């Protein structure tokens, strides 16, 4: 095992540190966030910081890096209040990754990556047609994180489109049987394979495998 | 595809909803958080909400559910300011899951699950000996999330212990080659397999596979 102190970490080469520290928190979710500004211009961007905040109400967060440079996703969300979160699957990892390129205002990542936009139920923001889990989100709150000038963007799921073939009897959505990918660090995409599902844990009771 | 409105989601059976909504955000990290209170009593709890917040400084967050019931992890962290975050691997998924049982004040999950505590470099809080990625954390901030009365607990990595055999030349820590697991929903553990690693994305440039 290698040990690095805070000082060691701070003295690492910037790119090396960014790679390493982005990996140490574990496997990440990978989602495409779809937005549209008031002029009707769409944007699509890959995020690996989407996180479950609560089920009742159904709240989802993600981290927005400092807004000193133009961030179309954040700008569009605060302008329109509605956005979409779409699970990334194995066939579209390359296109999803390409959305992280810095396109200018006139370009839409949908066009540039050939990911197809889909409008459902009159929802304002575009979904990703090929995704098997699509969340229609309404902005709830933007929380500033002073420690590094990032923001936690919080939204409520106002509609959910999901491939119901993978919903089990108790509500578990078996991502482990779907082509939904995970992420490692900044740039690596992984498929998953089930190890085990366990029963609700109680003291002095042996876990069941479900 | 099945469509659920916000109203449909709110009318689901509570347990069903909790299962489903915990799955829709994607693959999760799985970590054990180790703490110790001022009486020297240790606690260990599995979390699937640990998230990367930044690399410079190295900041990591996790979500703490409402503190109306006793939460040993949160209490110990605010009391002592130091805690550990330890990656969960395939051989210890069952023990990790068992830490989610509600043990009383006198019981330590280290004893109850036979996960071995390890003290490194005089760091206050216990690490999990069998983990290949161990973060020694210092509390930086606690941010209240009014939307559902949860908290974002933010800490700085003050020491990092990592199996250096998996650090690549550019700093990428290849979790995809390690037995580090991911999580689905509330209770499912998955192993990962690399699909692809891509180069930094730029407009009008084809991604390289790394």
Residue B77: DSSP 8-state: H
Contact yes or no for B65/B150 (Cβ under 8 A) = yes
- Of the residues A98, A107, A188, A203, the best mutation for testing chain B's interface (the one with the most B CB atoms within 10 Å of its CB) is A188
Contact at CB, B29 and A31, closer than 8 angstroms = no
Contact yes or no for A51/B21 (Cβ under 8 A) = no
Name the pLDDT band for B104 (thresholds 50, 70, 90).
confident
Question: Per-residue pLDDT for B93 more than 70?
Answer: yes
From the list B58, B103, B187, which residue is nearest A9 (CB)? B58
Question: Per-residue pLDDT for B69 more than 80?
Answer: no
pLDDT tens figures, A104-127: 888 899 999 999 999 999 999 999
**What number is the average pLDDT over the span B166-174?**
98
Q: What's the pLDDT score for residue A149?
A: 95
Least confidently predicted of A97-111, B36-50, B87-101, B147-161: A97-111
**What number is the average pLDDT over the span B139-164?**
97
Nearest-Cα distance to chain A for B34, in Å, is: 15
Contact yes or no for A26/B60 (Cβ under 8 A) = no
How many helices (H) and strands (E) are present in chain A, helices listed first?
5, 13
Q: What's the pLDDT score for residue B67?
A: 67
Least confidently predicted of B65-69, B92-96, B166-170: B65-69
Name the pLDDT band for B105 (thresholds 50, 70, 90).
confident
Of B54, B92, B49, which Cα lies nearest the Cα of B73?
B49
Find the radius of gyration of the CA atoms of chain B: 19
Name the pLDDT band for B56 (thresholds 50, 70, 90).
very high
Q: Which domains does chain A have, with CATH numbers?
A: 12-190 (2.30.110.10)
CB pairs under 8 A between A and B: 397
Contact at CB, A171 and B29, closer than 8 angstroms = no
Q: What's the pLDDT score for residue B70?
A: 66
Contact at CB, B197 and A210, closer than 8 angstroms = no
Which residue ranges of chain A lie beneath pLDDT 70?
67-70
Of A69, A51, A49, which Cα lies nearest the Cα of A59?
A51
Q: What's the pLDDT score for residue A68?
A: 60
């Amino acid at each position: 095992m290698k040990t690095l102190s805070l000082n060691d970490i701070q003295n690492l080469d910037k790119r090396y540190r960014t790679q390493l520290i982005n990996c140490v928190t574990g496997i990440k979710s990978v989602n495409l966030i779809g937005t549209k500004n008031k002029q009707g211009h769409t944007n699509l961007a890959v995020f690996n910081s989407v996180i479950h905040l609560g089920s009742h109400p159904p709240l989802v967060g993600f981290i927005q890096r400092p807004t000193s440079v133009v961030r179309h996703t954040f700008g569009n969300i605060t302008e329109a209040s509605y956005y979409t979160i779409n699970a990334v699957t194995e066939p579209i990892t390359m296109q999803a990754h390409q959305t992280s390129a810095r396109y200018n205002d006139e370009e839409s990542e949908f066009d540039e990556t050939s990911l197809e936009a889909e409008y459902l139920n009159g929802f304002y923001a575009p979904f990703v047609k090929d995704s098997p889990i699509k969340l229609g989100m309404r902005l709830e709150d933007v929380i500033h994180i002073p420690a590094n000038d990032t923001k936690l963007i919080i939204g409520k799921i106002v509609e959910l489109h999901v491939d119901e073939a993978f919903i089990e009897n108790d509500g578990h959505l078996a991502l482990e049987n779907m082509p939904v990918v995970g992420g490692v660090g900044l740039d690596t995409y992984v498929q998953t394979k089930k190890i085990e599902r366990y029963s609700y844990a109680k003291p002095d009771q042996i876990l069941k495998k479900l």
